[in-house]
Structure 1
């Protein structure tokens, strides 16, 4: 049965209609970003959050604290607090504006923020860690918990990753930013969808990347051959003008598609090799 969160917020589109593009990242500050002890985030972590922002994706920290305290923990960086779910949902920030809300839980607060930003639950990534995140983690398709998470958050999340100091958050931010640049799903979502039903993905396991390694060059070569062949046939006047134009058009479409397929597999294989070298 769909959670109350899902029932009250309509999905913009389903997985069958296409892959998910992340437009909003909701991130727990205390567990996922490690601010439980009251120490501000270091510059490296803030730079990782900026990767998400620079990719054109909204970032919304979540905390039991109010805006002033959350801003202090973010080192005074206003750009990281343009959207937020604060006081466990009782205080919202949407596009820089502090808004009144009647929400009493983080899930309710997140739902209200998503409504105001016109973001569907298939377009949001939740990086949770606190027990207060459990309802939200279980309600959205793209939910991740770190090894620093509470037991409730860990069990509710669809995917898992290493903790902040083990590089998990940095890897996730990079993956989400890269996916936005290429107009595709983040790697951990593709890995989760490729896994057997009921098996939760560990972040970093990307079977699609490894599978494409041996065929990338072949697809790129075939793409070039098809395009060149189309031009040769067109210029040789082998076919009447209209038929020749059709052959050229089909050749261009097929060739470009093959070349792009090879380019994508080559890029994914390169990512997999980098991850392997990092020991992930």
Structure 2
């Protein structure tokens, strides 16, 4: 798997922590808007994303930023250059519904793709003081006490933790759209839904969940894909094909002017492909 020479893990992590600090401050003075798809956006989403763009974009290295709130402002040429080259992929606040409801189940996600391939990621959870990041082909995690951990407190995650995902107590995570439109039959383990994907990604990393079955936007998935890839997890689609980690192969950008860049199929994550295949058979 590729590692990026442009990914400065400590810098990215410090940036994520600054974004989190701003988001927490803005949470006390919320204003919300309703998007055309009936989802909500807050003033913090826009502010945090603009801060991320200023911090992470680098014209001298041809590094751009794709963000949930600003992707529709890009020209077609700008988007194509980003997708073929080097870009950060930002979800400024993953879990806007709990964020706006003052529930701590939200986080900030920063993925990175080099030459069009997803290769690095960072997720911070300000509400639970947890963080995970990739560095030199490995994944690191820590939980702080009353605040996000310092960078030097992050410790390497063992790939063997994913073996715990098979325990019968571990639940399969599905998204709200799947819960509202699909029928589940014959599944032998528990199922839960979420309003943010960052929590399932981190807890799957730690072996505390069975897997993920969800339709995801690229800003939902990029960081988590890189984080799990380092640990040997399988990522694929409901049609049985594995993820390529190539932005233009795994995601559909044809509706980006409407703010959409969804995975080409429902995405499935587990420690083995066989588990993904069995879940696909149970969800119709």
TM-score category of the 2 structures, normalised to the smaller one: under 0.3
Over alpha carbons, which structure has the higher Rg? Answer: 1
Instruction: State the TM-score, normalized to the length of structure 2.
Output: 0.26
More helix by share: 1
More strand by share: 2
Instruction: State the TM-score, normalized to the length of structure 1.
Output: 0.26
